[in-house]
Structure 1
């Protein structure tokens, strides 16, 4: 009897242990399935793309360096390296002073440069080699691949410019059309007052000063730009209401013809 009682006690203990293990196993399985379902639910939510956020950012919120295209050109215009920027500006000022102030002509400059290059090459090849063992004069040549790359880049840029002009002339954006017309009118007035070289040099100096001043006084400049944009929109609305709205469209003409 005692042995039977002990065996029953052991069997009941083993059964209870098995039940606890099975319950814990099922509990872990349910928790893991719950966690997997939660992970799936989290994965099912759409994630916003960064491109949409980038497109929503206004140009005024971007840094000036990014607006200028970045790279060495933006560093040069924003005076990140003062020696390089000052050197380029001094070189441009020298060229402008030679042609405008001293009234030096382009043909004379090309001839004098060629005379200088030929003289140096002659001395290098004949005179200096009698006293010193000089290396050969460096040979300058234009690579075919480089020429083709430059030609392809020019072709792409010219085609892009023509497409932009075509879109502006189509009249889809009245504000852009009027802005371009006003800009060309101002340039024509400036061209009648000064020469082409002076105009190009003035634009060059403005490119080296205006972005830097805008970067330093960005808040005040943005306020002025916003006021100017509001005034332009107001004037465009008045022009649209008083003039362009009275011009018959092509659709009305086509209907009359039919």
Structure 2
């Protein structure tokens, strides 16, 4: 064995990191930072796992959600929004998507931070039907949802419970699963419903919880703008003006 003296060590050639490798590392870091910033503050793509918003949104659709939409304005009736489950009653049937393996879970959490893995939270998508101060109920003599005594125009509702019109309102003689309310939406909250009225566990299903089924605006993540996948479903998500003026 030959032991180099100090002179040999000082003059030993140093290995340099290739320029292409340094540049690649920088690009990866920049891309991750941009991904985190964009998905935290600007927008994110969400997967639709159920049929509660059919036919507007189908199982398997991926939608682009605008997180900036309500930073400079208020949510309006007709908007389709993604929100976090506001109370424990909304989490019934939901289970964590994280692995039970500690290492795999740590990798999933890191991927979520980088915007590569979905967050470990129960995010839901529904349509706003009424806002703070409004009173919502169902139904009028034609089976329509009413807000402040006026029926809504809801062309997107195709699937609903049957309604029998015998000149009796839901308040005096309930006729079907459509009936609910009246509920006055508290300040800072929203009343939301799925477009698939006969297959959506929305505000109606949580009317007995501490928020009366309403969703705080603070829990709204953003407004659903586009269907981005699959390609055959590309298009905007309408936010019609549903309340008569």
Q: What's the TM-score bracket when you normalise by the shorter of the two chains?
A: under 0.3
Q: In proportion to residue count, which structure has more helix? A: 1
TM (normalized to structure 2)? 0.22
- Whose Rg is larger? 1
TM (normalized to structure 1)? 0.22
Q: In proportion to residue count, which structure has more strand? A: 2
